[in-house]
Structure 1
């Protein structure tokens, strides 16, 4: 069966359904609210938001398939000058938990094609714990390495480095979290190669629910107090800074007249900023900051 945009789109809609069911079941309390939307220029999507659950304070699992004339900025990024239409589809997820001991997670898997015939896949998954736990970090990265290794032995190393570089808050000189994998512009050279790349994207998409429900179950009941909650709000502030200043997906969505509510669903329900905050030396907070850097070999 040919890997065309309809087959890819169908996988992404099914992926959204399966992930939402897994998150609802594990949360045990909240249910997703669905918001169907249309884009005036072409296409639309299904925004699903879950709030005030047993584990999840706010989360979004979004599917979209949009199309129309490519903007001048998009064409410039592609090093193209002639007008072209685009088609873009994918699933994007951000989950903010109640507990400061359950990590924030993000995943995006996507496909983009131009009417000129050019097409590519992109995506990634990364973890942002409020407190870096070495055991959890090693487990997370091992899951991603195993998924990557099933498709190419070089993928994990290459895409982990890419994630370290991408999920980096330059104005803070710190990573957003413990990274993960990130890949973009994976262009197929022929039909067989396109099938291989699609299989890899499917693997990453399918890995999300087992990975995050593991952390939901494992960490949801760990004890925490006011100190941990204050730190969580500060780390959420860093998350906001990255998404609004550096994230390419946010910029692309706004530039292509995407749906603002869906684009900004990645924002936490609450965050905080304290002027020149410095954690106590030797504290868990200081230890976490010391690990928010590029090049940490977790596996």
Structure 2
């Protein structure tokens, strides 16, 4: 298993996801921009906007290399200078507030034969939490994980609960999902090839999972108040990505391409002063469920 083979397979996953999302949307299509990184490598940024379902979405592929900044070396606890990183990153912001935001990232990082790992995850950020949708989403993630290791889902869900947490708001970004980092054979019962297969299985599950959630909700009527709430929740999404998200920080610290890094931000968001939903409302119910440690499969 070579880094070039990993990058090539990730490219094919990007192609499949873009094709699937265009079919799901039925109107919008991706615009591609090829880019080169000054320090080495490059990628393909693909953006879809103003579709029938997707208001703004991005499916990025990158394979970059070069000198690792001192700040990143210190954070990783390594002395090596040259790195290679490749992956696919996705964020979809739907127009209908009853369709959830979804994010996925699968990636590989390498310094040398001894220092390398896989990372990634997928999480869901509903503007309005639906318990059946949450159970479906987490059930599908468990199914993918169980195909490789029965410990993956409970372990990676717990990590996602901790990671996708807006500390200054004391609320989770959404209903979580799974998240893993620095995954190696030493930390699992799997070989390098099997960990890579798990990474790809997660990538290939993206379209079927999201298509089901979209088709359950895309025809639901909504009001201006629903849109206002959607924009407030998008504001929370922005806060997390700009303050806490490790991928955003890595991209900025390694001289990444700004448009690709910030493609995760929604087209419209709001920050109303001291906004509080009405007691007993659907909005209040959603806020009450933005907590760590919820077992979505048993609700």
TM-score normalised by length of structure 1: 0.97
Corresponding residue number in structure 1 for 2:104: 107
After superposition, give the CA deviation of every residue in 1:118-142 in whole Å (9 maximum; x if it has no partner). Answer: 1000000000000000000000000
| Cα drift, residue 116 of structure 1 | 6.0
What SS class does the counterpart of residue 226 from structure 2 fall into? helix
Q: What stretches of structure 2 of length at least 5 have no aligned partner?
A: none
Work out the CA distance in 2 between the residues paired with 1:298 and 1:45: 36
Corresponding residue number in structure 2 for 1:90: 87
Q: Is the 8 A contact 2:80 2:111 kept in 1?
A: no
| Cα drift, residue 108 of structure 1 | 0.1
Q: Is the 8 A contact 1:84 1:115 kept in 2?
A: no
Corresponding residue number in structure 2 for 1:235: 233
Corresponding residue number in structure 1 for 2:124: 127
Question: Is 205-214 or 165-174 further displaced after alignment?
Answer: 205-214
Corresponding residue number in structure 1 for 2:183: 186
Work out the CA distance in 1 between the residues paired with 2:287 and 2:172: 9
| Cα drift, residue 83 of structure 1 | 3.7
Task: State whether structure 2 residue 282 is matched by structure 1 residue 254.
Answer: no
After superposition, give the CA deviation of every residue in 1:69-99 in whole Å (9 maximum; x if it has no partner). Answer: 111112112212x342100000000000000
Equivalent residue pairs, number? 296
Q: What stretches of structure 1 of length at least 5 have no aligned partner?
A: none
| Cα drift, residue 199 of structure 1 | 1.1
Work out the CA distance in 1 between the residues paired with 2:43 and 2:212: 28
CA-atom RMSD, angstroms?
Answer: 1.3
Work out the CA distance in 1 between the residues paired with 2:255 and 2:113: 22
What SS class does the counterpart of residue 296 from structure 1 fall into? coil
Q: Is the 8 A contact 1:119 1:188 kept in 2?
A: no
What SS class does the counterpart of residue 64 from structure 1 fall into? strand
After superposition, give the CA deviation of every residue in 1:161-208 in whole Å (9 maximum; x if it has no partner). Answer: 000000000000000000000000012349x71011111111111110
Work out the CA distance in 2 between the residues paired with 1:61 and 1:126: 15
Task: Tell me which of 265, 276, 281 is aligned to 1:267.
Answer: 265
Corresponding residue number in structure 2 for 1:51: 49
- Write out aligned runs for 1:1-299 (5 A): 3-80=1-78, 82-115=79-112, 117-189=114-186, 193-299=191-297
Work out the CA distance in 2 between the residues paired with 1:83 and 1:116: 12
Work out the CA distance in 2 between the residues paired with 1:45 and 1:31: 19
After superposition, give the CA deviation of every residue in 1:194-237 in whole Å (9 maximum; x if it has no partner). Answer: 01111111111111010111122221101111111110000000
